[in-house]
Structure 1
């Protein structure tokens, strides 16, 4: 039974039983506390918690999910994967335990010919929360299960809550017994790989209070009980396909086979190689799906997770003996395995491929440079006579350069060194702890979204700002310091919930409107406008005068200058995007944007810098569109109709069934967009492209000023040019040549000055040689020479003196003030080094006296500090080190 068939059977089964079929949400979660959609229930959380009224009584979905907390287990167990699909059915105050249990048992055990999954009842076990007698009775009634096939488990495995006050309830899990070949008898309680959990039924029936872990109070039953279930698609697939694990199913195995072919290794012949191939198969699929949802590799957030998956893939291929690029073969194998269920991986493959290949090329260079850094660290460790590579070096390579720790361990081992893995792990643990604390603080900050539920229950906030800048409305609610209040007075910061508003809430890359909210006896300055939950707009305000209360009549007033600038900038973003696609081709696809009054920024997929000529052409095409006074139209339609029309859905954006299409000049610019726009393109005024830069291995960024801000910037440049023409007495068109001439003359003069200064310093060598004193059997020159242009000049002088001291053991230590700070450079000749005198040790001793640090090679080394008055004592320290 193919994975696509399992999906079809699931959706058909629940669709036929009155469930609304909800398409999978993006892997990029709407929840600000989550990087990704980590479970099938995530898109339904607002309905399950009662924050947002559910639009349907029951629903079903097959949800794409990403989890990387157990990434180190990937490839080692039969069921751990970073990308997986969760089949779910949900009830919002509709059916409860008996319905959920009945549906699950019917689908699992019905014959395949009748649309079921065809599991044999004798292979299925269930677990329940230890005190949930009701569930046990229902399993006996519905499924006819005997007591010995039902196991009571503790709260840590069979009880669900968010960890915060709110809905909670017991769980019941369904397991498949793979047979004695895979472990001991005893049921799921044995926690053995023999029993594979395939379905979890969550019964949300209680309201829990404050508390940590298992220690919380149950406040009572929920007025509306909910059902949240999840069946693991991949787990069912590997069982139904008769393969050993998650990695051998139809959606994953083709990549594994390609890795085997490219490496010349056989799957199933070597445990370590098998793990590596499974890692590759999993990570390539996960990366493909993330990039199909608009994630690009970066150094933070979601992009960092993607980058880690891609780099672990490269590393695994290297451990299989393949050092050449392989993504050009691995990713098409995954695309072909996934496109039946997810056509976007095929239609967007050109963009996905550019991102993947660009990241692979970059990381292969990183591996080369990281290896160089590691080689230096290994050499230093060996020279120092140590046997252990410093753990902080290994961590730096891992954390800063993305150099895998296992590669560091391998290279160190080849050099006869070890790495303090415990110390490295401690550094990693500290980093993860800090990251978790940060995530926890963000979650805590947003944990009280329930404060909005009473307002959202009154309906959605009506946005009138497309047509009006002013709207009469009513204050539905006030929030101060996270709590609902009845009023707010002058000086307070508050959130205001209104029935209607003309103020635009930040979204789609467009900043929130500036403006005011006024009413009888009060005035509020709008600081921000957001959508904390779907369908609800919240205004963060400062009460500048009077007192505002719930139920008051109010009027929203958008700052017209701000809105005009914002519409100009947002429409300019569309024109720049269209110009990019016209000039570079359709693969130059927008991957992010930001705009506010007078400014726009657009990120787009492209893997090389734009030439000056190309940037000028983009700017000209966009401004020609402004000049042509193109009509800007907006239409509301369903999403499928919009896509059929050719409207572009931008990555990272979320769209409902009904969307707004913004068209500028016909099909030339046709995008899904909820932002505010001008009515005709000439209203934009002027677009001034001010920068173009890299924001990743396959992403570029354009920034432009728009309207009056663009004019002011050009006027400022004109003033600078005018001043230069006047000062240099040169016509404007000749300025580039004149400035180039002046720069060349300046560089020539600097070279002559440097040559003169070096000559002056070289003349001091004989006198410095004369200062040599004998310490033991070593000739030592230790002198302060005053100020020098740079430490390079000081280094040249030191080596010049050393050459004049002959073959006897010799040490030269010269100190100077360079750039306002004291510096000392120490050099030794071969016979001094033979006597055990090291320049690096002497420089470090001198630098310590100067209040700084230093060191270097045995033949020449440098130190510095901050206390110039200590230079004589620093030179004495060198002499003492020789004796």
Structure 2
């Protein structure tokens, strides 16, 4: 019975008995306690809690709710019944029927024949559990339904008592299990083996009110509900598993097609589920996560680094990495997503209208992650190899933090890869590094935004003596010290060496705003000099100068001069105006949807974030750089206009990301219609004063957001000079003109690849030439030919496999076991092979590999006739060989 038919039968069964069919709610509900809907009753919570009256005329409802649970995501594929996305079928009674009605409805659907609209399950294979003292439910099951007492088991509060985890309705449960047979485990019912006895339906009898408490069982029962309710949940995937006669939920009609597609994409084979090979888990991860990711995107989730978006991102990354580990070389998500959409569309017709969007979101995330995976995996391999070379089994937390911070590698991915390499991660030191980073960020933010002090401290100045900014007209201004703050307290003076916040009535120094960093400069009078490192705004009106007293001392009320560092200001204005040009060029190349999403500019450097879903091509980047530099060459006048917000919008001025504007605004216009934006920053007076703009590249900074980075002015010149010097040096080394470098480098690269192939062939030929010599070294042990070789000169894993195949073939007339190992650049690949007759006598190469791997700090696996692995402890090779010979003695 196909899954869609199971859904239809469930719904029709309860509609026929007076329930109103309620469509599934979105996976995303406005519930601060839930990332996703994780149970069928979640959309009905307001009715169970008494917050709303149920809108169903008969007080009865039924639904098949989309659910996602990801707390135990690592269990996916390992257990036979765990999915991250699942469909929970339920029937609900609000003050109508209670235990007897719920039990009778469930039993009828499960055991009625297919012709009668039921699932046709054998009643003798159904077991039930009830809460410890729920004699009423036990009596109904036994006397009304006819379930023998020996198939009714009582369980405690942890298993058979339900609540929402907060004060409110609660009650005992009765769960229905299906006995899958002795091949799945021991006899004795659910309490003996919950793998053999698969839970398919949970009937919750809401009859009590719970109080405060922790956990599933640590709470007080306050009394009975005035109206008793029923909430049930049947797992559609689990029932499909049983009715379709498959061993696990990954092989049902919804997910099996994805596994089949993954076999085509990867070239690997999905083995017998009982084999417990890690490949099976990877296939199941691909199938399960493809469906969950598709359903999340369907309901509006997009990848990001937090919350729901992070869950989606993690699922997608696990799909991609699992496919890579199975042998996939190219992008895979389009094929997986199309397959799962085909299988799910019958039950969820809305997929058809959203196919293009789902694919676009998934494929953009895949392209982004493949870059991260390549660089991060390479770095992880280096870290893992170094740890094993040093004889360690733990990856240092600082290295895991580097992978996270520098390479964008999520810690869960590092943990997975470490486990596969036989390593652990020092999570204590990783968490310490993460905490330290967060504290640094918080401290920096407090220092800049004055979070360390109550802003009411500055309220008097904000309201009565706001700073007059003079920096648009001049770089030095006379001013009066109207406030001094040190360590969050008002002071009347500051001495040499002290750090102090200085508040002036006038200031030419620009306070950080709109992406432009604050000016550097100085405050001085007589022998007193203060170096200004930062300037921040309080309440948009007060300039607070963070300064260090370099000499002399400063008193409240002093008359001083505040002066901007001219070199700093010049570089800052170049970069800020260049940011406007880049923005205009972006919109010209990419269209009006490429709008600003954040920026930062400091002297000589800018970064510009913009909303766009696709990576920019080299041609697009070149065009953006060309347009921006053409605007520089055009020597456009940079005009500033003070006007009302309404007038500015009428002029077509663009507002910047994250800015809140008052009634009066400042418009910066460059080259007439070329660029016109609302902006309070400082700028050059003509675009030619920017100097060259060198676009360094672009990257992703989140789902649907890209970032361009560039140098301006002398920094751009220095960058170009460095690049030119590098090209000149390479040109001289290769003795070709610079224009011919691309062709020359491509030619050399191709020759290098060919040379590496020839060397590999030569290496293999040399090894095979010695095959006869190697075969002669085989030892006779217990009727077996056992050949163990520690090959010198760093033989690679592929060469080991070729040689092992050749040696096995040469020994094919014997019961032979071949084990080869070779230390190679800190790595230790090893391989085991067995002839057909040796396999017939009980030899499994996978067992041999595991035995040998234990002596060289390695692991591996494979088929009975050949298996391979990798280790790190070359000192254990001979002990490992001895263990293999001892193993042959026992066969």
The residue that corresponds to 2:459 in the other structure is 456
For normalisation by structure 2, the TM-score amounts to: 0.53
Q: Distance in 2 between matches of 1:806 and 1:548?
A: 93
Q: Distance in 2 between matches of 1:531 and 1:837?
A: 76
The residue that corresponds to 1:616 in the other structure is 622
The residue that corresponds to 1:359 in the other structure is 361
Please tell me whether the aligned partners of residues 310 and 359 of structure 1 are also in contact (alpha carbons under 8 angstroms).
Answer: no
Question: Aligned to 2:639, what secondary structure does the other structure show?
Answer: strand
Q: Distance in 2 between matches of 1:566 and 1:574?
A: 13
Q: CA deviation at 1:710?
A: 1.2
The residue that corresponds to 1:687 in the other structure is 693
The residue that corresponds to 1:732 in the other structure is 738
Q: CA deviation at 1:519?
A: 3.5
Please tell me whether the aligned partners of residues 364 and 614 of structure 2 are also in contact (alpha carbons under 8 angstroms).
Answer: no
Q: CA deviation at 1:718?
A: 2.0
Q: Distance in 2 between matches of 1:471 and 1:440?
A: 34
Query: Which runs of structure 2 are paired with 1:341-740 in the superposition (5 Å)?
Result: 358-359=360-361, 442=442, 450-459=453-462, 460-531=466-537, 533-740=539-746
User: Which deviates more, 477-486 or 459-468?
Assistant: 477-486
Please tell me whether the aligned partners of residues 455 and 497 of structure 1 are also in contact (alpha carbons under 8 angstroms).
Answer: no
Cα offsets for 1:644-699 (capped at 9, x unmatched): 22111233333333322111111221111222111111111111122133344533
Q: 1:759 to 1:364 in 2, by over 3 A?
A: closer
The residue that corresponds to 2:862 in the other structure is 857
Q: 1:725 to 1:284 in 2, by over 3 A?
A: closer
Q: Distance in 1 between matches of 2:827 and 2:311?
A: 43
Question: Aligned to 2:553, what secondary structure does the other structure show?
Answer: strand
Q: CA deviation at 1:574?
A: 0.9
Question: Aligned to 2:809, what secondary structure does the other structure show?
Answer: helix
Please tell me whether the aligned partners of residues 831 and 868 of structure 2 are also in contact (alpha carbons under 8 angstroms).
Answer: yes
The residue that corresponds to 1:36 in the other structure is none
Please tell me whether the aligned partners of residues 486 and 501 of structure 2 are also in contact (alpha carbons under 8 angstroms).
Answer: yes
Q: Distance in 2 between matches of 1:66 and 1:636?
A: 43
Q: 1:76 aligns with which of 42, 47, 52?
A: 42
Q: Distance in 2 between matches of 1:536 and 1:838?
A: 78
Question: Aligned to 1:849, what secondary structure does the other structure show?
Answer: coil
Structure 1 residue 839 and structure 2 residue 805: aligned?
no
Structure 1 residue 743 and structure 2 residue 749: aligned?
yes
Query: Which runs of structure 2 are paired with 1:74-473 in the superposition (5 Å)?
Result: 76=42, 297-300=303-306, 304=310, 358-359=360-361, 442=442, 450-459=453-462, 460-473=466-479
The residue that corresponds to 1:827 in the other structure is 833
Q: Distance in 2 between matches of 1:367 and 1:599?
A: 27
Q: Distance in 1 between matches of 2:806 and 2:759?
A: 20
Q: Distance in 2 between matches of 1:501 and 1:875?
A: 79
Question: Aligned to 1:531, what secondary structure does the other structure show?
Answer: strand
Question: Aligned to 1:651, what secondary structure does the other structure show?
Answer: coil
Q: Distance in 2 between matches of 1:713 and 1:685?
A: 13
Please tell me whether the aligned partners of residues 465 and 501 of structure 1 are also in contact (alpha carbons under 8 angstroms).
Answer: yes
Q: Distance in 1 between matches of 2:714 and 2:488?
A: 39
Measured on the aligned residues, the alpha-carbon RMSD in Å equals 4.8
Note the residue ranges of structure 2 that are not aligned, 5 or more in a row: 1-28, 47-93, 97-165, 170-292, 318-336, 371-403, 414-426
Q: 1:744 to 1:806 in 2, by over 3 A?
A: same
Q: Distance in 1 between matches of 2:840 and 2:478?
A: 90
Q: Distance in 1 between matches of 2:554 and 2:528?
A: 6
Question: Aligned to 1:457, what secondary structure does the other structure show?
Answer: helix
Question: Aligned to 2:855, what secondary structure does the other structure show?
Answer: helix
Q: 1:696 to 1:596 in 2, by over 3 A?
A: same
Cα offsets for 1:259-302 (capped at 9, x unmatched): xxxxxxxxxxxxxxxxxxxx999999997xxxxxxxx8532489
Q: CA deviation at 1:549?
A: 4.2
Q: 1:609 to 1:363 in 2, by over 3 A?
A: closer
Q: Distance in 2 between matches of 1:402 and 1:323?
A: 33
Note the residue ranges of structure 1 that are not aligned, 5 or more in a row: 1-64, 81-179, 183-189, 194-278, 288-295, 332-352, 369-395, 404-426
Please tell me whether the aligned partners of residues 828 and 837 of structure 1 are also in contact (alpha carbons under 8 angstroms).
Answer: yes
Please tell me whether the aligned partners of residues 575 and 669 of structure 1 are also in contact (alpha carbons under 8 angstroms).
Answer: yes
For normalisation by structure 1, the TM-score amounts to: 0.53
The residue that corresponds to 1:752 in the other structure is 758
Please tell me whether the aligned partners of residues 487 and 549 of structure 1 are also in contact (alpha carbons under 8 angstroms).
Answer: yes
Q: 1:631 to 1:787 in 2, by over 3 A?
A: same
Q: Distance in 2 between matches of 1:498 and 1:285?
A: 53
Q: CA deviation at 1:487?
A: 4.1
Cα offsets for 1:547-573 (capped at 9, x unmatched): 344444443322211211111111111
Q: Distance in 2 between matches of 1:281 and 1:457?
A: 54
Q: 1:323 to 1:880 in 2, by over 3 A?
A: farther
Q: Distance in 2 between matches of 1:636 and 1:739?
A: 55
Question: Aligned to 1:788, what secondary structure does the other structure show?
Answer: coil
Q: 1:718 to 1:659 in 2, by over 3 A?
A: same
